[in-house]
Amino acid sequence: MTTEHVPEDRSATGTADALPGLDPARPARGAVPRAAGYEIEDELRAALADGGRPVRIAGVDEVGRGAWAGPVVVCAAVTDLSAPPVLRGRGERTVALTDSKLLTAAHRASFAEVLSGWLAGHAIGAASPEEIDEVGMTEALRRAAVRALEALPQPPDVVILDGKHDFLRRPWRVRCEIKADQRSVTVAAASVLAKVHRDGLMADLDKDFPGYGFAESAGYPSPVHQRALEESGPTPHHRLSWSYLDDLAQWRHLKKHRDPLAGEGQLSLL
């Protein structure tokens, strides 16, 4: 499978944002393209232009939020706003960069190889199952994202987050966009790299904990995973504050509970 760069229509389709590029104009129903483009980035560049200095835009996406095992992983990616790479498919077809969930595993792996050299910068951050149990998913996700952003070669001026909730908060300047992984090249790149990185981690765990299907399900619920939990219980890589333990009478005593009256990060075993 080979890759190439193709020209892209980079014209912005939206109008200038009332609040410096951070209040998005939602796309019309059915208007989300399958191939990611630079519409959001172009709006941000126009709104945040400062004396001709380039605006550094980071796309951020996560994977593993709903899994029962393994870390939550976040990637922050920055492009130079050039045409994104595409893959050669069968015949004359090409495969465009987009949300990792819309790509096959083979295409994700091929894109990941190309993106690491094409991007102007990227970094991975993660929060462990223990950290998720300790502080909850929202805070663990924020920590993982901050770790990724702080590991970039230069701090971004603005961050595009996939979804409608700003879990980063101050001091980060954030624009939230629903389906940003299908509309923004930087977020699509982050989506692919986060997914490939975490899938690799879970495949490695599968070698040490066979039977849970980590290589296939990446720690998400599956019949194989649920059966292994019923028979053998959770591994050291499972999230012990998750509700799946409520249905496992033999292992329910292992569940961790955060005490809301004791402050963030306090755990009790009930």
Helix 185-208 to helix 105-118 angle (10° resolution) is 120
Annotation: binding site: 61-62, 162
> Shortest CA distance to 154 belongs to which of 206, 67, 80?
80
Q: What is the mean pLDDT of residues 165-188?
A: 94
- pLDDT tens-digit profile of 140-150? 999 999 999 99
Annotation: binding site for a divalent metal cation: 61-62, 162
Q: What is the mean pLDDT of residues 191-219?
A: 97
Per-residue tokens: 267: 């755990």
pLDDT of residue 9: 36
Distance CA 86, CA 53 (A): 29
**222 vs 4 pLDDT, higher one:** 222
Q: What is the dihedral of CA 104, 106, 107, 112, to 10 degrees?
A: 120
pTM summary value: 0.84
Q: Answer yes or no: is pLDDT of 159 > 90.
A: yes
- Burial code (b: 16+ CB inside 10 Å, e: under 16) for 107-144 equals bbbbbbebbeebbbbbbbbbbebbbbbbbebebbbbbb
User: Please, what is the average pLDDT of the chain?
Assistant: 86
Distance CA 52, CA 60 (A): 25
